[in-house]
Each structure stands twice: as C-alpha cells, then as structure tokens.
Chains A and B, each alone.
Chain A
C-alpha cells in the first residue's frame, strides 16, 4: 500500500511542469526493457538467480567457533566470525549445514558427550536468533524456512567418533536432529576402508535418513560407501584432485563414480583445497560439473572452520560474485540453480524416501561392533 500511495503523490499537479515531463516519459515508453547486456550484468543476474535459488551451504564450522566466544550477536553482525545473519542474507544463503566436528583431541573418549554439547549449542544459538535462523531437518522444512524468510540450519556433519561405536547412539543423535555423518576417524571407517560394522552403520544411516559424508574418508571407504549406500552420499568438502592435489580432493574416477551414484560433491571455498582466487574455485566447479554432472555438484563455504579462503570469497557475501563468474563462463541458469539449491534439496529428499522404504524392511539394528568386527 505504501508504494501505491507514493505513486499517487507523484501524480502531476496542475502547476508542476517537471511532473508533466515525468508523466510524458512514462506514457511514451511504459515497457522500456533494460537493455540485455550479458557481459555487463552477470552480477545482477547472479543476485536475481540467488533470490530464487539461494545457496544451500554444505559446511560451516560456526558451532565450534562460537564455543570460544564469550558473547556474540549473529543478528547484528559479528566481526570475529566469518558467518552472521546479515552476511548470509547478502550472500544469498538460504540454508547452512552447521558442522558438529570436534577438534582432534576431543575425538576420542568424550566425543559422544561433546557432540551432545555441540547439538545443544546449535539449538540454543538458533533459538536465540529467531528472526534470522531456524532449524530444519527435511527438504520440506528447509523450503518452509525459506518461505518464512529465514536461513535454514541443518545439523551435521558430525564425526564418526560421535557414534561411540554404537548404533543406539546413532539413533539417539538422529533423534536430536543429526542429518550428516562423516565416515572417517573410527576403527570401522579407517584408511583400510569400511569394516563389516562400518557397512552396518551405513545401512542404519539409510534406515534413519542420516546422509554419509565421505570427505576425508579413505579411497577404499569412499568406494565401499558408494556401493553400500542406498541413499545418495555426499562429500561435504571436496574439490578436484586433478586441479589441486589435496588428500580430501577427489580424483577423477571417484568424481565420475560419485556422479554415477547421483551423489554430491560440495566444493569448499578454501585456498588450501581449491586455490587462492575465485577463479580457482570456478575452475574446480567446472571440472566437477564436467565429470560428475550438473546434478552432482554443490557449494560448501567451510567458513569459520579455521582455514584460509580465496581472496574474493572471504565470507558468504562472495557467493554472488562466484555465481556471476559461472554465468560468464556460460553455465546455464538451470545448472546454477541445481548447484546452489536444487542438488542438496534432492539429496535430502531422496535420503528421506530411502529411509521410509528401509524402515518397512528393516528393524533397528542391534548389531554390535564386537560381534561384527571381532
């Protein structure tokens, strides 16, 4: 209504020549199209695209980063962090996975309790920022949160150590909202690959709808998980090893395998894995899209995880520039929409469908690591 009233005020009075001129312009060219200049306006197109298909960011280290801060306000903005609500909004982010990974030292004995604390912290932080953030668990909830104009927060990935080698604990963590689990750093998912218990963990994850994250997992684990999982898997922080040799980056054959399994490679915005510039990140995205396919590539900011970022991507506000670069490189808008939003939504939805079917077939597993791995 306010807009309409402003228009009324702009209607010319009898003594306003300027106003008459304005009206004349309007009458002359009511549908003047802004000239289409593909090279001049990719940033605008990127912003328009992100408004419709925001970024679902696959990895954010905020929970652990917040533990060391005595006080913070994510709603107003926080210079100590990479992530806050204003920058998420400016960057066109609609959903973020908040990592529950623990620092090395904590991954052992106290991992289960520390993970409970991390889950509690996320709940508390999200509850304290109701205007900006809202927890979501399923694809439907993520969409709901977006329609409410909030950023959806999803829980995960957690490290394999959070399971304490017990499927009962996996179920309890799922009941608390956990959606993604990284399959590395446990006796059952080591350099040697997945043990029998490790495979049972994947089957139980499929039954629950917890998605497997294979970034940082050994090559054997990745191959076995691709074969064993009935739901799509993802690599929450992996770029292309062909472009940059980093242990968490995926070689071409695994990228192709991931594509064949309709999994998801989420390319991190870290200088270490992708290179020091935005163009480097775009190169990785090009490569992953070419090998795995446009349905199997996504974005993972990896902000607040203690790593250096490409110059032009210091925080979430860089995403529109990255999308603009991809548009310049000729990515069709439909592929960009999959990259930012569609693919992650598809994986969440498929994981839920798989879980519903699996629950018809299987009772909760009572398998114990001592029985299966001896």
Chain B
C-alpha cells in the first residue's frame, strides 16, 4: 500500500468523519501577539508566519470541530477577567468567520456543523484558576459557552493537584469533588489533562459523567507527568470517557523529554529560569541546541502512543488534541493544523480500519459530549445549583 493512496483514503475518510480536536490555543496566541486585533491576524488567509492555525489549514487538515482553549495564565492576580476576554475573543472569531466556524454548545450542534461543512467551535477553559474557587463563576463560564474545564494547569489549585507541581491535597479536595459534581450537573466536561494521576483517579471516582483528556498521551510510551498512566487509561471503558492524544514533542518522545530536561538543567546551571526567554537566556539556550540537536518527533511517534492507548483503553476511548498554538515545537509532519491527515495515514498503514478511525477522529468525542448532556439532564431534575464554598468544604 503506497503512502499516496493512504493519504487519499485518509482525505476521503476525513471528509466523512472530520477531526474533533480537543485543544487549540489560538485565542491566547491572538492575545499575546496582537492583543485581539483580529484584523492583524486574519485567519481567513494563511498565517503560517505567525500561527499554527488558520482556516485554510484547518480545512486542509480535515478539522470538523475544535475546542478553542480560553486559557489564561494562572499567575494573574485575578484570572476571571482575562478568561472573559478570551471567551470574547472566541465569540468574535465566530462573528467574523461565520461561513467557516459554527458556534457549538452540544453534540447535536457538532453534528449540525458537520452536515453544513462548517467547523464546530466549542470552548474549553484550561485550569481551575479560571473559576476563582466559585461555583457561581463556573456556571457563568458555562452560560457563556465553555464546555470543558481542565481542573488544573501547570500549578496546583487549592482544590486539585497538578501533574507538574508538588502534591498538596493528594488529588481532589472535598471542594474539588463539589466542582466535579457541579460540572456534571451543568453538562460541562471534566478535563483531566495537566492534573496529577491522583487527581485523575479522584475525578474518575467522583464524576457521574464521562471525562476527557483534552491533550494528553500515554505515560507507558513516554514517561512524562503530563501523560496518562495505564491504570487510568484502563478505567476509561467503565467511565465512557476519551483520551485525546497530544503531539507536543517534549511529552511524546522520550528523547525529547530527556533533551528538554538537559536543556532546562543547562539553563539553571547558567543561572536562568528554565522558561526564561530573554535575549541572554536564549543565547545560552541556542548554544546548547547547537551542541545537542533537538530530537524530532514524527507522526509515527504519536501513532505509537495511539497504538498503546488503544490497547489500554480501547478504540472507543481515543481522540486527538494537538495543542496547536500552545506549544513552540511540533512533530515533523504534524507541523500545524494541516497535518492531521499524516497521522491518520500512518494509522491506516498500521492497519487501523475505517471504522476505528471514524471513532478516533469524530465519533468518540461527540459521544462523550452528548453523554455529559444526558447526565446533566438527569441531575438537574433532582439537584439545585450548588453554592458551596471552599471555606465550607475544605476548612
């Protein structure tokens, strides 16, 4: 089977079952680069020079639904106002490109957008800091259209541990479980990317609805805390959730994990913070990169993760979450949002069937959102909105 024919078959498949991507940071990129001046980054045309994402490349990549991340930094004095600005950015994009982007709040909206040939646009908030310990604010974000909340970002929140911070509450606190319960009641998906394995397990215990991992890969393939351990993947069939594989090289390729650790160590050895991007720091970093070429991930690297996740979780519990415009480096062949067909072609070559791939790209993610809506309908009939506070529950 030649690569060309795989790619052709891929494109035919994606026309029918386009990609639902779980995480794209275009709003944050627009905030940082042009302060939301959408005319300065008109994504109707090519923006290769500045962004991973624009409409022509989304189309080329066979994307049919996108969860736009309304991420804001956790170290802002008050993350709520910035989150509202991010949401406004997505709404403006929807107003600006109505022929290509369709507002979507439900699984039915996603199907309707697919039928119209538009890209269903949903929102996900990345990090519990965006609700400022308030269930009223959580409901406000839901009312504005946010359909998932990642419980933490890189740092712990008071009620949940992050994968990349020191353990503090050991998973979810009582208030954290209340947040999950309220999300279930609303029909907002619980996103377990970025959280500690302990938090993943607590959330799976607490959630009445299927969960998602909006952009995480397999820890057994590449040992990085951002990835999902097998015992958690194995719980997805019972939960009904979906793990959306991410492409970020420093999470998916062991050589890149090691290289990043060495590069960070090198920065610290020279007296810089490892995320410092000042000119001097970058000079030190470039010198390191010249001595140690950056390991390159490929579509095959990501396919390795999917092969394993399929073993551990099953074909009904996989999805895709590229993290485009949220990461500096991308794998070869998956350089930007036009790259998804290369991953699908690789999987076709590995013997994945059309039916398997339809689940991976489209059906699983749509099913999970629909299931969360069903659970919410039931819960709303019996439970009033919770106004519990973190002080009441966590003392």
A interface vs B, CB < 8 Å?
109-110, 112-113, 116-117, 119-121, 123-124, 128, 164, 166, 168-169, 171-173, 175-176, 363-364, 366, 368
Contacts and interface: CB of A to CB of B under 8 A. Distances in A.
Contacts of A168: 36, 84-85, 88-89
A120 B36 contact: no
Nearest to A120: B136
A114 B134 CA distance: 9
Contacts of A166: 81, 84-85
A122 to B, nearest CB: 11
A116 B87 CA distance: 14
11 contacts: A110-B132, A113-B78, A113-B80, A116-B140, A116-B141, A119-B140, A120-B385, A166-B84, A168-B89, A364-B95, A368-B35
- Rank and list the top 6 A-B pairs by shortest CB-CB distance, nearest first: A117-B136, A116-B140, A168-B85, A168-B88, A164-B81, A172-B84
B131 to A, nearest CB: 8
B85 A176 contact: no
B37 A169 contact: no
A110 B136 CA distance: 13
Nearest to B143: A176
Interface in B139-154: 139-141, 143-144
A32 B132 CA distance: 68
Contacts of A110: 78, 132
Contacts of B351: none
Contact of A176 (B35, B37, B78, B140): B140
Contacts of B136: 116-117, 120-121
B92 interface: yes
A237 to B, nearest CB: 26
B277 interface: no
Contacts of B87: 172
Given A110-B78, A176-B144, A117 B134 contact: yes
Interface in B119-147: 132, 134, 136-137, 139-141, 143-144
B36 A366 contact: yes
Contacts of A119: 140, 143
Given A113-B137, A116-B136, A175-B144, A169 B84 contact: yes
B35 A366 contact: yes
A172 B80 contact: no
Contact of B91 (A112, A123, A171, A173): A171
A128 B88 CA distance: 29
B81 A120 contact: no
A52 B273 CA distance: 70
Contacts of A176: 140, 143-144
A54 to B, nearest CB: 28
Contacts of B78: 109-110, 112-113, 164
A172 B385 contact: no
A364 B93 CA distance: 11
Nearest to B84: A172
Contacts of B293: none
Contacts of B384: 124, 128
B77 interface: yes
Given A121-B136, A172-B87, A175-B144, 4 more contacts: A117-B137, A124-B139, A172-B91, A364-B88
Contact of B77 (A109, A116, A171, A173): A109
A25 to B, nearest CB: 56
A117 B95 CA distance: 26
Interface string B62-98: 0000000000000001101100110111011001000
Contacts of B134: 113, 116-117
Among A112, A116, A117, A121, the most chain B Cβ lie within 10 Å of the Cβ of: A116
Among B77, B80, B139, the most chain A Cβ lie within 10 Å of the Cβ of: B80
B190 to A, nearest CB: 20
Given A168-B88, A172-B87, A112 B144 contact: no
A109 to B, nearest CB: 6
Nearest to A368: B35
Contacts of A169: 81, 84-85, 88
B143 A123 contact: yes
Contacts of A368: 35
Nearest to A164: B81
Contacts of A116: 80, 84, 134, 136-137, 140-141
Contacts of B85: 166, 168-169, 172
A366 B92 CA distance: 11
A110 B134 CA distance: 11
B92 A364 contact: yes
Contact of A124 (B95, B141, B385): B385
A113 B37 CA distance: 25
Contacts of B37: 366
A356 to B, nearest CB: 14
